[in-house]
Structure 1
Amino acid sequence: MSEQPQTGHGFLGSGHPKGDIGRRVAARRQQLGLSREDVALRAGSAPGYIEYLEEKTATPGMGFLLRLADALETTVTALTGGGAELAPGIGVAGERAELAELGTDQCWALLGTHGVGRVAVVTAQGPAILPVNYLVSEDRIAFRTSPDAVPAEAAGTETAFEVDHIDDAFSQGWSVLAVGGARAVTDEEAVARLEGQAYSAPWAGGDRNLWIVLTPERLTGRRILVRGAPGQDLPH
């Protein structure tokens, strides 16, 4: 019996990006040198469903996942991201990988409007790097913290702020590094503007009402590209 795309909470509409399961399925299929038709035949499914699974955000049932894992000579745990609690980067290096420098516009595009990044500070105990929720406003990076928290020590110093993304499925990723002066925001109107732009309360919870703004004097980035991986067009 073939699997067909479902509606409702199991599968999202066509406007959504690929899901992690689909990316892992595509990666494993390519490692084995199989076509979608090959996988469909092995799993007792329709080729169109394998394409749907790889290209859309989907949540297949356990019965199909068991058949799919067997078809791909792997485990359900591997397909569903059972190693999610492990540090990123556990995959092996991709073939024909290249390290590309990113331009300033590319760096800002990857920073986006918000996310989670890491701020570097120097404390009495030595250097420290800590994750913070951030937002981008007028070519500046802003984050909230508590006045007595370690990230607050970035205020009044030149500091570094780093954001990255690791794609274990294809052993590729990117990183952006911003270096510049950081300051505490004390102007009430400026604070109100940042509060209005904040997409979320800090994940760490608690009373974190001190805004720190970093103005990059140097913005650099690098990307690991793997030829043949989805979404990667390398210059020749």
Structure 2
Amino acid sequence: MSESETTGADQGPVAMLDDDGCWELLGRQQLGRLVTHVGDVLDIFPVNYVVDDRTVLFRTGEGSKLFELSINDEVLFEVDDHSDADAWSVVVRGHASRLESAAEVERADGLALTPWIPTLKYNYVRITPTSLSGRAFRRGVEPDRYGIQQY
């Protein structure tokens, strides 16, 4: 996606994305990185996900992700992509919570969120954002670092 499509204006090689642009790009991908923080330990996990009503939903089995989220629900979630011409990155800051009610799980089951690897993942986790940030990048050749610089 070009930066003018996500921001409405040409802002040079780096452009800030608005919330709508961030959600549009998040909706195009399926793989992101979940960052958890417990005590002095930061962990990062690749997870496949879906966007659901301006939240991020993923599935997980019992294990370290679910355990860490039960201790500290504050997370970062990052997704990016690139082509030869451009690139982008979106970071979601928010709180993760396991879906508990039968109605929530039944609704989530209808979102076609299936594991990428053949393991059982009974737990749905929703990331509710407190903030979004995103940037789009126009790729190109690095400017001459040693030539005459514009002032």
- What TM-score results when the alignment is normalised by the length of structure 1? 0.50
CA shift for structure 1 position 130: 0.9
Instruction: Please state if 1:193 is matched with 2:78.
Output: no
Number of aligned residues = 127
Give the alignment of 1:55-74 within 5 angstroms.
Answer: none
Aligned-partner Cα distance in 2 for 1:180–1:124:
18
Deviation string, structure 1 residues 149-202 (Cα, Å, up to 9, x no partner): x322234511110110022x33x3100000011111111110111111124x21
- Provide the aligned C-alpha RMSD in A: 2.0
- Equivalent pair of 1:120/1:154 in contact (CA under 8 Å): no
1:141 corresponds to: 56
Equivalent position SS for 2:89: strand
Contact 1:113-1:136 within 8 A present in 2 as well? no
Matched, 1:101 2:6: no
Deviation (angstroms), 1:116: 0.7
Bigger Rg over Cα:
1
- Asked which structure has the greater RCO (Cα within 8 Å, sep 6+), the reply is 2
Task: State how far apart, in whole Å, the 1-side matches of 2:98 and 2:126 are.
Answer: 6
SS in structure 1 opposite 2:88?
strand
Give the alignment's TM-score, normalised by structure 2.
Answer: 0.76
Judge conservation of contact 1:113–1:137 (CA < 8 Å) in 2: no
Where does the alignment leave 5 or more consecutive residues of structure 1 unmatched?
Answer: 1-96, 228-236
Q: Which amino acid aligns with 1:100?
A: A
Given that 1:113 and 1:135 are in contact with CA atoms closer than 8 Å, whether structure 2 keeps it comes out as no
Change (3 A) 1:140 1:158: same
Q: Find the counterpart in structure 2 of residue 174 from structure 1.
A: 88
Structure with greater helix percent: 1
Counterpart residue type for residue 22 of structure 2: C
